[in-house]
Structure 1
Amino acid sequence: MKTNLQQAGRNASSAVASAALEADLRAALGAAVRFDVAHRAVYASDASNYRQTPIGVVVPGSMEDVATALSICRRHDAPVLSRGGGTSMSGQSVNAAVVFDYSRSCNRILELDPAARTAIVEPGVVCDTLRDAAEQYGLTFAPDPSTHSRCTLGGMIGNNSCGPHSVMAGKTQENVEALEVMTYDGERFWVGRTSDAELEAIIAAGGRRGQIYGDLKTLRDRYADAIRKRFPAIARRVSGFNLDELLPENGFNVARALVGTEGTCVITTAARVRLVHSPAHRVALVLGFPDIYAAADAVPEFREFGPIAIEGLDRAIVRGLQTRGLRAEEIALLPRGDAWVVLEFGADTAEEATARAQRAADAFGRRRDGPVPSTRLMTEPQMQQRIWLIRETGASATQLSIDPETPDPKVGWEDAAVDPDRLGDYLRAFQKLVDRYGYQTSLFGHFGDGCVHARITFDFSTADGIAQWRRFTREAAELVVRYGGSLSGEHGDGQARAEFLPIMFGEDLMEAMREFKRIWDPRNRMNPGKVVDGYRLDDNLRAGPQYKTVRLHTQMAFRSAEGEGFQRAVERCVGMGRCRSLSGNTMCPSYRATREERYSTRGRSRLLWEMLQGDVVEGQWNSEPVKEALDTCLSCKGCRSDCPAHVDMASYKAEFLSHYYETRRRPRQAWFMGRIGQWAPVAARLPRVVNLLTQTRFLAGVARRVAGTTPSRSLPRFASRPFRKAWAANEGKRDQAGGARKVMLWVDTFSEHFHPEIALDAVEVLRHAGFDVVLPPKVLCCGRPLYDFGYLAAARRHLEAIMTTLAPLFDAQPGYEPPVALVGLEPGCLSVFRDELLKLFPDDARAQRLSSTVKLLGDFLIEHDYEPPRYEARVLVHAHCHQKSIFGTRAERVLLEKMGARFTLLDSGCCGLAGSFGFHPAHSPIADAAGEQVLFPAVRSAQEGTLVLTNGFSCREQIRHGTNREALHLAQLLVRAIHANGSEPKTVSRPVALGDSMEKSYVEP
């Protein structure tokens, strides 16, 4: 009892101290200070096995804000943690501290000097942002870890990051020229290479800087011999502090000594980094070996040909992807083998790059010592990118176990490095160690530098499993040291390896590292407990023996190869943060618009995970922090395809809202936008009256207020006649060609009531392709908008009605031939059949059958070898998010190529409107910001006469809103081509309800 009372007293005291700290920080920095539950939960985890809830979060607007926040933290004696992209795998970017997140605002490139080949950057600059800027001058920042699209330079400096191209130009350490640093006690100055004269002058000048340099010199002199003797002479020594950079032969380089200290010594406020020549052309030679050991044995031979990257990959990851049905097209590109090495060659001309790769291929074809590998030379950038995708995303995609008896692979021993010339022997010895402990692993990594990644099936669920993991880690550390290696060759020590660093360095050098930290941070307030004097390996585990398994009733079935249930689905997020990428693909539009971590797919996944555990986020389905974060999710489904782990936030959001609103009233917008499929048919009976209310200036404002939509956006206009009335009014007898195959056209709510001309054009296109068009016997709605507001019970009823009506029509009957497909026009609506239908009716054969028949118009046409007429227009293509995620964009490319059109398929992400999302007043800024990322500027700058093509209703509305341009549906473009060429349809018919064309013996449901 006394212990409990003492702990309660400490907690109360801590809460009071935290409140006082928050109050002072907020008074100085306002909204940059986030001590709320949501932020503390989101920043409690990174990509490692560890979780520590921070005191609070500061998102500074400038480095001056950093200095202000640091002075307040110092006054309260609060520890601080500098955080970049939060993708660290050793636990160094989580701590019980005040987290400074520089990525949102402290992210400027301050200077880029192509002549000097240097750049000065703030710590929040994303690696790819700098690389893209440097590429304009034929330069690049060489280190490029797999997280290059979202990791920050500050994080890379803290971690001493590497990547595949460290073979070309070294780690971050070798690419840092100077750092501007800030100590916990408020000193701010530049550090770098220091001559003897400069060193003496700095020491003589006195002050805090002089004291630091004097103490560093004393440290250097005392431990120089031990450093030279004990530090392994390999390219990938990332473990420990870079005390060797203080040696005279290395120029007393204080900046490089601070690289890799993981925020335990100073805050980096700016960095001058080296830029290197970027080969203009690159090719990849992929070699297939019988096993990973033979591949590793060949590393010395690889290096003889001067590649700029040497990456190895074993069969385990490829098998994992194949089992999950992922990356099939990419895997098909691999040559024969059971392990692969990718050699990348670069040169200023494509011919030279190819020649270098071919010389290597020829030499290995004549190889006498060792197995002769199979080869595949890839010169096209797109093909090379697909191979790199296997390497970059494979581990994250397979980080949940398929076998329920096998623990999930962990990153607990992730990136050791040895002399590359001894790599094969080391891997054989390491695999024996893994086998002896009964674990399973995959092996892949940067073979050119001897750095190997291993995801191992450690058991964290029991005390015995933890004890075994500890024993294994000690033996693995001893093994690496025997091979002259480093415990970490890329991801740093953090907490994962700190405890075992004495095995590598010995106690003398560990004391030297402690002294190095004390020189900079005598109060131990900078990311304490990491690298030196660190937490134990098994402290602060995110999913250790105390992890709660929560079983919740859900409306949707969350099933995958890795297991069932909502919790298992949420566990898919392993924290690698691809959703924080600033460009390319779709995921995550709300993060790109706001740069807010809790509005990323990872942030929301973390909140859902914390919601299930209940330690920080309470209330489960009633949690307000979770609800607030999910409100900004556009349900674009980008994460479903773009995330390596295939996190499906749109489904998680729909499920959460369905429970959240069980005891709450839904907002007005839910009734207006969410139930549009129910009231639109009623409103369409009097379209002129409805349009008068929603389109005239004064009345439209009232209508928007009633509907709960933003004043800045016009409501959609109803067509004067719905689709079915429009085609029914056509004169002339229906003339159905004998023998023509039937196709059923799914006319969604938007095509029926707002843009019937698109459905009419689709009928003409399908006729031109040789098909007789039929319709469902009655008007049906897929219920797509219902999911955005958690109306899952209503959605289920919609789908039940659809299956009852349509499923029998796709069964062959005597004398009756079913339609060959259910063809639709609106990707958002068609996605319901491929996605939500199977989640709400996972065991219903009708759902499986109906889902398999659904095709988007373009996909259906190319599957049936449709040849569109020539139409040499200029076309700018923006793909709807659901189309990209579920159906793909191949159809548009194929059809436009056949037409002879000059087209550009934009990598434009989400348009921002996303169904009803952009109509919400609170979401309008995010919607507009998403459109301004790529789509709006591309449309505005398009050459006069360029046609804008997109299949999504919301995309066309957004383009009209943001650019005043009208966009076309694919059906409209194809009809233009048909009319321009005077082409006759292969059949002459107008669509009819399917019940009208069926044999009388068939009983209509």
Structure 2
Amino acid sequence: MPQPEENEIFVATQLNPGALEADLRYALDAEVRFDAGSRALYATDASNYRQIPIGVVLPRTTEAVIKTLEICHRHGAPVVSRGGGTGLCGQTCNVAVVIDHSKYLNRILELDPEKGFAWVEPGVILDQLREQAENYHLTFGPDPATHTHNTLGGMIGNNSCGVHSVMAGRTVDNILELDVITYDGVRITVGETTDLELEEIIAQGGRRGEIYAGLKSIRDRQAKRIRERYPKIPRRVSGYNLDELLPENGFNVAHALVGTEGTCVTILAAKVRLVHSPPARSILLLGYPDVYSAGDHVPEILKFEPVGLEGLDDLLVKFMQKKKLHPEDIELLPPGKGWLLVEFGGETEEESDQKAKDAMEALKKLKDPPSMKLFIDEKEEKRIWEVRESGLGATANVPGFPLSWPGWEDAAVAPDKIGGYLREFRKLLDRHGLNASLYGHFGDGCIHCRISFDLFSAEGVANFTSFLDHASDLVVSYGGSFSAEHGDGQSKALYLRKMYGDELIEAFRQFKGLWDPQWKMNPGKVVDPYHPDQNLRLGVTYDPWQPETRFRFPTDETSFARATLRCVGVGECRRTHNAFMCPSFQATREEQHTTRGRAHLLFEMFRRDFIKDGWRSVEVRDALELCLSCKGCKGECPVNVDMAAYKAEFLHHHYHNRLRPRPAYSMGLFGIWGRLGAGMPRLANLVSHATLLSGVVKWIGGIASQRSMPTFAPESFTSAYRRQEKQPEQKGKEVVLYPDIFNDCFYPEILHAACEVLERFGYQVIVPDQNPPAVRPPMDYGMLDYAMKRMEEVIDQLSPYVRRGIPVVILEPSTAAVFRDELPELLPEHQDGKRLTAHTFLMSEFVLREGLTPPNLPGKVLLQAHCHEKSVLSLHAKAAHELLAKMGLSVEEPEKGCCGMAGSFGFESGKYEVSMKIAEANLLPAVREAGAETYIVADGFSCRTQIQQGAGKRALHTAELLHLAFTRTLLPPPAK
């Protein structure tokens, strides 16, 4: 059989990529991309591996998939299918044409609640199917932690499982039929096959008959070995499912193809089983002295028939605390250093609660009962699941600990052997000088871990492969499986011979050869694989470029290149609903508009061996073009990738000594134009709003023609404040009110309201003598030298106050975020800068921090928190809710993510449509539907502008709401 390297030699020496691309473009209803940026985006997944593909195809129809294979077959080009790209074993990257099914082939074709099945396209996101099925109290049973963004095609490729496989089994157990096509164009619908049907198919001849005859031959010759060698455990996923061809399993060809990782066929559609989903759930948390004793008790817990049984160790909790992940949720854990999370299901809450209580009563009678805590509140249950599902993110890039990587992340043993296996596994880690948190699906014997492999040095890589060799021996000695839901890819496939023996490995080759005689389907994975130390993203040749940067990256060894390694590729940024990041991906469904895609391109830029233009890279620039700098990634990404900072740093260098796009000068330098406009508001408003003049101004400034320019107030807050007659100084604690340029120039009534509110609370309000310069706008456009100078000016202005410990209240969240988030990254040693960071507060934070009692104002609030509040000022986002609740208001927040305006993003020409698509997803419909009695609250200038221009309603600042509660009147906007 061909070796994987032979495929690469063919592609490099015989394939004509230009001709292949031309043929694909001419014939397909698809997006065909052979450019360097697209190829770099798909060069890796969530694994340790990297292979540059030939090109990428995003088919719009099933017919386009079929045509893609026909053309690739004609050219001899290998292919690999890809869904969410969350594979951990390298199975979705290859030197091949990548077919990405996720953007267009994501329809649920049929859902039959009566018969309990659905037909789906391969790009359907799991939660998309589950949400529709839940309308009938049905679900697709397997549910990996990536259920919000993984695809059914990927799950079928990997034979994925997840938490509730205890209840419903693996993916293979929930597939009824598959519509598949081979590399040479044979389209077959496969499933269970009776003896009579099998003989008829063979008799009909042709490629289909040849395949079935070969499958029957493999079964007949290998049946005894299959029954003897296949592990008898709930989670055997490694290798091919030849056991599904046995007579007792109905010669189920669909099941035999599940878990083949795209090495045999391409899936066009799948008929999946939907099982009853108990509508009520209760969670019982059990605490043990350590994770090993927790593992010992798994068989005891399984007697109570839970629908989910998860385990986690104290190291995972320690990692979460280090990363400040779900700190309040961790507090819900009962005493212990190892825990079992047991979920019970029922038709009613009473039924599921009673099952949990019965288990508790029985466990209390044990000699050494665990600590116990029962959760019946749905919100608390969700918080507990967030702790468990944070496993991968919590164990990656932990401050103070070595980097950790996949490689041996999902081996499984029988559930009654978990305790013993974990003890020996820990000893094996210790012998190799490695560390890992141990958690996973204990009810099915599946253990997850990211391990502190050194994948940079020759010694470290040798230790990596040596560990895999010994770990595979350990699993075999326990009768287990190397993979329990993530597949083999190339990281574990080399060791399959230990599990199955020579004869069955040969049978795997024959199985693949029947479907793919030319060996072009995802070559080098599962069968005749690359070695686990080949194609490493890092490895001994990894020597990234280390240029000087303005951001200091203090938590990433002061290296931008090191910061790009944060992204672990798990794809949380690919969620399409109920998600903060990435708003641009939610609008475009483009991989390059995810945090992951952008991080991968930056990684490639620093590698310099494929994207070689460094700071001048157009591929990186284009990927960052639609980044809203919302910082949703820094707050929501499990490894806190800060794409806004990466973008600012890149743009700083990309445009060094070069002309920037027009919006950088019109909006990035708004600190200059804003103050000029505020000094002559009538003229500024005439120029920006008169029909002919405004069109010219917008064109010059690169501003979208659909946008209305904000109107300057007749008098700024600072101007009015300073011309007032000086009143006797009010006694009380001092507080600085920061007159940010946006509120000062456009919404001075907000600053006036804030000033009066602070005085009513008994504070002596200080307004700086000089107007502080604008720092956020040039920061977002990558004008970092200019922004840092302005930042130092602000620090100098405020240092007399912060040195005395006087708090600074800032009303604009994006401005506060500059001093709380960017300042420590840009000027980490600046002592006054540190003081400013520590003393900067938004209004809600300040009121709660000072223990002030807000006035009562009953009613409803529709809250749009600014992105920076929810990401880097996350405590304030919670403070806003808490303050409003203390005022007697009920709060609804319709948009988890960005409003779409994102500072000046929504004003830029060419970005209006994306901006409005983001806003129309949730925010603007909710604003329009809000009754007259509902207060709409948005502290961010950009959020208020989007709401005003998109829905025609005025949004209030929290300061205005507090003023209203004190006085029962709103300060009117100045006449304009």
What TM-score do the two structures reach when normalised by structure 1? 0.93
SS of 2:657's equivalent in the other structure is: coil
2:370 counterpart of 1:373:
yes
2:580 counterpart of 1:586:
yes
Return the alpha-carbon distance in structure 2 between the equivalents of residues 846 and 292 of structure 1: 46
Pick from 461, 466, 470: which aligns with 1:466? 461
Moved more, 203-212 or 844-853: 203-212
Q: Structure 2: where are the runs of 5+ without partners?
A: 1-5, 972-976
Q: Offset of 1:964 from its aligned partner?
A: 2.1
Name 1:833's counterpart in structure 2: 819
Moved more, 461-470 or 752-761: 461-470
Return the alpha-carbon distance in structure 1 between the equivalents of residues 759 and 281 of structure 2: 47
Return the alpha-carbon distance in structure 2 between the equivalents of residues 466 and 903 of structure 1: 53
Pick from 773, 776, 786: which aligns with 1:784? 776
Moved more, 800-809 or 100-109: 800-809
Pick from 398, 412, 425: which aligns with 2:395? 398
Name 1:416's counterpart in structure 2: 411
Pick from 792, 795, 804: which aligns with 2:787? 795
Moved more, 614-623 or 889-898: 889-898
Residues matched between the structures, number: 964
Return the alpha-carbon distance in structure 2 between the equivalents of residues 488 and 913 of structure 1: 45
User: Contact 1:47–1:575 (CA<8 Å) still a contact in 2?
Assistant: yes
Name 1:990's counterpart in structure 2: none
2:686 counterpart of 1:692:
yes
Name 2:143's counterpart in structure 1: 144
SS of 2:207's equivalent in the other structure is: helix
Moved more, 454-463 or 50-59: 454-463
Q: Offset of 1:866 from its aligned partner?
A: 3.1
RMSD (CA atoms): 2.0
Percent of aligned positions with the same letter in both sequences? 49
Matches of residues 62-211 of structure 1 in structure 2 within 5 Å?
Answer: 62-211=61-210
Return the alpha-carbon distance in structure 2 between the equivalents of residues 107 and 735 of structure 1: 68
**CA offset digits 1:601-655 (Å, max 9, x no partner):** 0000000000000111111111111111111111000000100000000001111
Pick from 516, 540, 543: which aligns with 2:538? 543
Return the alpha-carbon distance in structure 1 between the equivalents of residues 935 and 705 of structure 2: 29
Name 1:617's counterpart in structure 2: 611
Return the alpha-carbon distance in structure 2 between the equivalents of residues 25 and 981 of structure 1: 65
Name 1:765's counterpart in structure 2: 757
Q: Offset of 1:31 from its aligned partner?
A: 6.5
Amino acid at match of 1:960: Q
Name 2:269's counterpart in structure 1: 270
Q: Offset of 1:407 from its aligned partner?
A: 5.0
Name 2:974's counterpart in structure 1: none
Matches of residues 684-723 of structure 1 in structure 2 within 5 Å?
Answer: 684-723=678-717
SS of 1:564's equivalent in the other structure is: coil
Matches of residues 519-530 of structure 1 in structure 2 within 5 Å?
Answer: 519-530=514-525
Name 1:998's counterpart in structure 2: none
Q: Offset of 1:136 from its aligned partner?
A: 1.7
Return the alpha-carbon distance in structure 2 between the equivalents of residues 844 and 465 of structure 1: 38
Amino acid at match of 2:678: A
Return the alpha-carbon distance in structure 1 between the equivalents of residues 546 and 375 of structure 2: 48
Amino acid at match of 1:573: C
Q: Offset of 1:969 from its aligned partner?
A: 1.4
Name 1:988's counterpart in structure 2: none
What TM-score do the two structures reach when normalised by structure 2? 0.96
2:54 counterpart of 1:59:
no
Pick from 916, 935, 949: which aligns with 1:928? 916
2:248 counterpart of 1:286:
no
**CA offset digits 1:316-367 (Å, max 9, x no partner):** 2222232344432222222211111111122222222222222223332332
Q: Structure 1: where are the runs of 5+ without partners?
A: 1-5, 813-817, 984-1005
Name 1:854's counterpart in structure 2: 840
Pick from 734, 755, 758: which aligns with 2:727? 734
2:554 counterpart of 1:559:
yes
Return the alpha-carbon distance in structure 2 between the equivalents of residues 8 and 500 of structure 1: 23
Amino acid at match of 1:847: G
2:877 counterpart of 1:884:
no
**CA offset digits 1:51-104 (Å, max 9, x no partner):** 111001011111111112111111101000000111100110110000001111
2:563 counterpart of 1:569:
yes
Return the alpha-carbon distance in structure 2 between the equivalents of residues 407 and 871 of structure 1: 51
SS of 1:876's equivalent in the other structure is: strand
Return the alpha-carbon distance in structure 1 between the equivalents of residues 159 and 10 of structure 2: 37
SS of 2:838's equivalent in the other structure is: helix
Amino acid at match of 2:958: L
Return the alpha-carbon distance in structure 1 between the equivalents of residues 92 and 412 of structure 2: 22
Change in Cα spacing, 1:211 to 1:876, as seen in structure 2 (3 Å) is: same
Matches of residues 207-606 of structure 1 in structure 2 within 5 Å?
Answer: 207-368=206-367, 371-400=368-397, 402=399, 407-560=402-555, 563-606=557-600
Change in Cα spacing, 1:564 to 1:365, as seen in structure 2 (3 Å) is: farther
Return the alpha-carbon distance in structure 2 between the equivalents of residues 897 and 9 of structure 1: 66
Return the alpha-carbon distance in structure 2 between the equivalents of residues 946 and 897 of structure 1: 14
Name 2:943's counterpart in structure 1: 955
**CA offset digits 1:786-809 (Å, max 9, x no partner):** 112111111111111111111122
Pick from 893, 909, 932: which aligns with 2:881? 893
Change in Cα spacing, 1:772 to 1:401, as seen in structure 2 (3 Å) is: closer
**CA offset digits 1:179-234 (Å, max 9, x no partner):** 11111111222111122222223333333223222222222122111111111111
SS of 1:684's equivalent in the other structure is: helix
Return the alpha-carbon distance in structure 2 between the equivalents of residues 907 and 305 of structure 1: 40
Q: Offset of 1:169 from its aligned partner?
A: 0.6
2:627 counterpart of 1:633:
yes
Return the alpha-carbon distance in structure 1 between the equivalents of residues 926 and 250 of structure 2: 49
2:960 counterpart of 1:972:
yes
Return the alpha-carbon distance in structure 1 between the equivalents of residues 29 and 265 of structure 2: 25
User: Contact 2:670–2:774 (CA<8 Å) still a contact in 1?
Assistant: no
Amino acid at match of 1:128: D
Q: Offset of 1:981 from its aligned partner?
A: 8.5
Return the alpha-carbon distance in structure 1 between the equivalents of residues 645 and 76 of structure 2: 43
User: Contact 2:84–2:102 (CA<8 Å) still a contact in 1?
Assistant: yes
**CA offset digits 1:407-433 (Å, max 9, x no partner):** 522211111101101111111122222
Return the alpha-carbon distance in structure 2 between the equivalents of residues 75 and 250 of structure 1: 37
Amino acid at match of 1:372: P
Return the alpha-carbon distance in structure 1 between the equivalents of residues 919 and 942 of structure 2: 12
**CA offset digits 1:277-320 (Å, max 9, x no partner):** 22222222221111111010000111112211111111222222
Pick from 724, 736, 744: which aligns with 1:752? 744
Amino acid at match of 2:812: E
User: Contact 1:402–1:563 (CA<8 Å) still a contact in 2?
Assistant: no
Amino acid at match of 2:405: K
Change in Cα spacing, 1:8 to 1:240, as seen in structure 2 (3 Å) is: closer
Return the alpha-carbon distance in structure 1 between the equivalents of residues 778 and 283 of structure 2: 47
**CA offset digits 1:890-947 (Å, max 9, x no partner):** 2222222223223312243111111111112222222122112221222223345433
Return the alpha-carbon distance in structure 2 between the equivalents of residues 513 and 159 of structure 1: 16
Q: Offset of 1:660 from its aligned partner?
A: 0.9
Moved more, 617-626 or 79-88: 617-626
Return the alpha-carbon distance in structure 2 between the equivalents of residues 401 and 552 of structure 1: 24
2:909 counterpart of 1:910:
no
